[in-house]
Amino acid sequence: MNLESLVLYDKIHQCVTLSGVAAKKGRHTTIKDLGVIENAAVVVDSDTARILWIGKSLELPQQFKEIVNQYSCEGEVWLPELVECHTHLVFAGDRSHDFAMRSSGKTYTQIAAEGGGILTTLSQTRQASVQELLERAQIDIDRFQKLGVGTIEIKSGYGLSLESEIKILKCIQTLQQIVSVQLVPTFMPAHAIPPEFKERSDDYVKLICEEWIPEITKLQLASYFDVFIEDGYFSVPQAEKLCLTAKDKGLSIKIHADQFKSLGGTSLAVKLEAQSVDHLDHINREDIKALSNSPTVAVLCPGASLFTGTPYAPARELIDGGARVALTTDFNPGTCPSRNLPLMTTLACTQMKMTVAESIAGITYNAAAALGMENEIGSLEIGKLFRVCQIKGSSYESLPYMFGELE
Ligand SMILES: [Zn+2]
């Protein structure tokens, strides 16, 4: 073994590995599953950036004691780098006026009907230059990163014309060359019905299926396809048609479902073996059951509920039923302009009655599972990528306790 390429991090005060969470594939997480090691050591192969050994400092194998590159990490608390599995991060403008309207009593649907909502961001994003979009997105990514995030999923969906959707996805591609965070691109042309297709949503769906999905997959600009199922947006049959076409072209599926109403989007996600189904604030009992036995990850957005003053998803029922539950900011200009993923753990514990252990699994292993990346990131284990987040405080319990003040 070439000791020169190895790095030893020793005397880590506390290392949260999530080894038990990974062994149970993110279901029924207990404190024990966090796999906390006090006074830990980690050996990393710098050639592959992977973990070669992890355990208690006192149990470090003899052969690693000779490693030249050694760092003492006394007082440090380590977790896997946080994973943000659902954002709409490339857009222009803001929606502070929507917030003001909502605060005077209007609903999300009413605001959209009056020309606000997604369509405001749509016209601003269509008009924005690539440079403007890049500059703004970079600020947001930096903010996520400062708060411990190492991987971010980003959806298109504020263009809704082939040209502007490509502009957004190419921005994500360019950002990937500029930032050190890993980015996962998702094509979401079915985020809303663009004004050109008002009252003609079937024609829009047909266009996406016949022309846009083939073009985006040919250009290799996305890994995932996503659709927003809601009254006034896309129906379950439309979503099914879109998702089947996307799957056929090699994209994995994500679905926005049950945010304002239970319309059957979760059943569709389970049937299509979607990687994740997101929101679920109004999921019904039958769908909770269906999701509990499925590999599809339930991605919950407590920040959106806080910001819009709407009900929280039934996290307890989902977790107790056996579902894999991840947490996200759902970062977007309309319903959650927060880039604070650690804050979501606080909300999960106080508003959705999740335990600290469940909330930490929700922004690490289960969030990685929502991106199909749990074999590479999301826990600190031998063979996995060495991507860690360090937090202040005496233990991992500080993460939800600090109320988003991770820095
Ligand atoms: Zn969303």
* pLDDT in 10s for each residue of the chain, 407 residues: 678 899 999 999 999 999 999 999 999 999 999 999 999 999 999 999 999 999 999 999 999 999 999 999 999 999 999 999 999 999 999 999 889 988 999 887 788 788 788 888 999 999 999 999 999 999 999 999 999 999 999 999 999 999 999 999 999 999 999 999 999 999 999 999 999 999 999 999 999 999 999 999 999 999 999 999 999 899 999 999 999 999 999 999 999 999 999 999 999 999 999 999 999 999 999 999 999 989 999 999 999 999 999 999 999 999 999 999 999 999 999 999 999 999 999 999 999 999 999 999 999 999 999 999 999 999 999 999 999 999 878 899 999 999 998 87
Task: Give the up-direction half-sphere exposure of residue 225: CA atoms within 13 A in the CB hemisphere.
Answer: 29
Ligand 1 centroid distance, CA of 256 (Å): 7
- Give residues whose Cβ lies within 5 Å of ion ligand 1: 330
Query: How much distance in Å is there from the Cα of 49 to the middle of ligand 1?
Result: 32
Sign of CA dihedral 283, 288, 294, 295: positive
Element (H, E) at 21: helix 19-23
- Residue reference for tokens 């929700």: 362
In angstroms, how far apart are the furthest CA atoms of the chain? 71
- Centre of ligand 1 to C-alpha 278, Å, is 7
- Domain ranges for the chain, please list them: 3-80+380-401, 82-369
Give the distance (Å) from ligand 1 centre to CA of residue 330: 5
- The CATH H-level superfamily of 3-80+380-401 is Urease, subunit C, domain 1 (2.30.40.10)
Query: How far apart (Å, rounded) are the C-alpha atoms in residues 240 and 96?
Result: 34
Distance (Å) from CA 259 to ligand 1 centroid: 10
Interval between CA 341 and ligand 1 midpoint (Å): 14
Q: Which CATH superfamily is domain 82-369 in?
A: Metal-dependent hydrolases (3.20.20.140)
